[in-house]
């Protein structure tokens, strides 16, 4: 069917009839739409077409029929074409946003095509009531490691809002070395602060924030995208330039001097610690040697004292000479115990004489 239609377009175009009509029709999402095209049942060799033209797309044939009476019904997705008395009807069941287009009814007769009726159908979704999406610029320079907060302000009018869907905000980053922006963060409907304008109670401003500690790789332009009611609205973008702090020659020289002094101090500390360890070890060795020597000398002195004590002992044994005595004296001597005399006593015992 499409091939035949394109061939007919290349053959010939007839003049638009005096009854040619072009109008605009606005409907909401979910409504049913009916478009009518007049039909003369007396024409036997005439064919009617409903086509749809969408921007940047080829014409799409939705249905066709002969001009004379026929009971043929054609259906494409949720679109139906059929004959009714004196008309060729195009019916759209529950219109969608993608049904927004220009619809033409064309009559073809004897290789001549005539545009009978054109309708621009605009399907409108629920109105989110959003009047603008703005982003704040960063005034202060940003350095690596600094915390940065990006803000996206959504302005809306509650009087025009017919959509009950909650807004969702997405953050994208575009970098010069990347062909497509990358999604970096998604926010729900509970992560924002809203306030009403005191001058116009119907005006509302909701601020969405995104915070992070940046690094050099975070350089780029950040966009917030608000998705609501089947639409996506983008902000104007916030450019994030991350600057590396410039180290002056004087600061670098002072830094090198401080590092050098710290290294010298550390070296001196290590030398002092090593010297103290060596001193303590030598002192311990000297103390041990002195203690051994002292013990040795003490033992030697004790031995010498004992030896001198032994050498100073004098042993004496009395010698008695036997002589004649009187009998009375002998009797007295027998009765008297023997007496031992020593110049010194050394664990000795003296016994008694026999009677």
- In angstroms, the Cα distances linking 14 to 116, 117, 120 are 11, 14, 22
Look-up: residue for tokens 């290789």? 111
Bridge partners (DSSP) listed for residue 148: 212
Eight-class DSSP state of 252: H
From the CB of residue 169, how many other CB atoms can be counted at a distance below 10 Å?
25
* Domain boundary assignment for the chain: 20-124, 130-240
Q: What is the DSSP string of 83-126?
A: EETTEEEEEESS--GGG-EEEEEEEEETTEEEEEEEEEEEEE--
From the CB of residue 168, how many other CB atoms can be counted at a distance below 10 Å?
15
pLDDT tens track of the chain, all 355 residues? 444 444 444 444 444 444 567 889 998 888 899 999 888 878 777 888 999 998 878 889 999 888 888 888 888 889 999 988 889 999 999 998 889 999 999 988 877 888 888 999 998 877 777 888 989 888 778 888 889 988 898 888 877 777 777 788 899 999 888 878 888 888 765 667 788 777 777 788 888 888 889 888 888 899 999 888 777 888 989 988 888 776 555 566 778 888 889 999 999 999 999 989 988 888 888 877 666 666 666 777 777 776 666 655 555 555 555 555 455 555 555 544 455 555 555 544 444 444 3
Alpha-carbon span 309 to 306, nearest angstrom: 5
β-pair type (74-76, 130-135): unpaired
From the CB of residue 205, how many other CB atoms can be counted at a distance below 10 Å?
15
- Three-state SS for 284-335 is HHHHHHHHHHHHHHHHHHHHHHHHHHHHCCCCCCCCCCCCCCCHHHHHHHHH
Alpha-carbon span 64 to 150, nearest angstrom: 56
| 96: Cβ contacts below 8 Å, ≥ 6 apart | 29, 78, 123
Alpha-carbon span 275 to 298, nearest angstrom: 34
Alpha-carbon span 16 to 6, nearest angstrom: 19
For residue 21, which of 120, 111, 87, 110 has the smallest C-alpha distance? 120
* Domain 130-240, CATH among 3.30.980.20, 2.60.40.10, 3.90.190.20, 3.40.50.20: 2.60.40.10
pLDDT computed for residue 35 by the predictor: 92
Beta strands in 7-111 (DSSP E): 21-28, 33-38, 46-53, 60-66, 74-76, 79-84, 87-92, 101-109
From the CB of residue 66, how many other CB atoms can be counted at a distance below 10 Å?
17
- In angstroms, the Cα distances linking 110 to 20, 46, 65, 223, 350 are 19, 8, 15, 57, 175
| 181: Cβ contacts below 8 Å, ≥ 6 apart | 172, 173, 174, 223
Alpha-carbon span 314 to 346, nearest angstrom: 11
Based on the number of CB atoms within 10 Å of its own CB, is 100 exposed (0-12), middle (13-18) or buried (19 or more)?
Answer: middle
One fold for 20-124 and 130-240? yes
pTM for the whole structure: 0.44
Positive or negative torsion for Cα 14, 20, 24, 29: negative
pLDDT computed for residue 352 by the predictor: 45
Distance of CA 232 to the CA centre of its chain: 26
CATH superfamily of 20-124: Immunoglobulins (2.60.40.10)
């Amino acid at each position: 069917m499409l091939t035949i239609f394109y061939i007919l377009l290349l053959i010939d175009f007839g003049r638009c009839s005096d009854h040619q009509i072009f109008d605009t029709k606005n409907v909401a999402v979910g409504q049913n739409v009916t478009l009518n095209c007049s039909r003369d049942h007396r024409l036997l060799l005439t064919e009617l077409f409903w086509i749809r033209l969408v921007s940047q797309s080829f014409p799409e044939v939705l249905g066709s029929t002969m001009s004379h009476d026929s009971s043929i019904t054609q259906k494409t997705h949720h679109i139906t074409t059929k004959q009714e008395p004196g008309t060729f009807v195009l019916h759209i069941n529950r219109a969608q946003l993608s049904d927004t287009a220009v619809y033409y009814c064309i009559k073809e007769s004897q290789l001549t095509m005539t545009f009978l009726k054109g309708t621009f159908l605009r399907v409108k979704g629920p109105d989110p009531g959003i009047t603008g999406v703005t982003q704040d610029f960063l005034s202060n320079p940003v350095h690596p490691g600094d915390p940065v907060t990006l803000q996206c302000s959504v302005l809306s009018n509650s009087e025009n809002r017919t959509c009950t869907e909650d807004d969702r905000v997405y953050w994208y980053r575009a970098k010069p070395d990347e062909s497509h922006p990358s999604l970096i963060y998604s926010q729900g409907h509970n992560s924002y602060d809203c306030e009403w304008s005191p001058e116009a109670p119907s005006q509302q401003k909701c601020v969405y924030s995104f915070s992070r500690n940046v690094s050099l790789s975070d350089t780029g332009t950040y966009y917030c995208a608000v998705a609501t009611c089947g639409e996506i609205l983008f902000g104007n973008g916030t450019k994030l330039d991350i600057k590396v702090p410039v180290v002056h020659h004087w600061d670098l020289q002072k830094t090198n001097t401080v590092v050098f002094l710290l290294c010298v101090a550390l070296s001196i500390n290590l030398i002092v610690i090593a010297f103290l360890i060596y001193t303590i070890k030598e002192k311990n060795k000297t103390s041990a040697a002195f203690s051994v020597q002292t013990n040795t000398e003490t033992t030697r002195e004790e031995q010498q004292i004992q030896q001198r004590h032994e050498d100073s002992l004098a042993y004496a044994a009395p010698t008695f000479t036997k002589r004649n005595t009187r009998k009375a004296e002998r009797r007295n001597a027998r009765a008297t115990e023997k007496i031992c005399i020593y110049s010194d006593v050394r664990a000795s015992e003296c016994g008694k004489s026999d009677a």
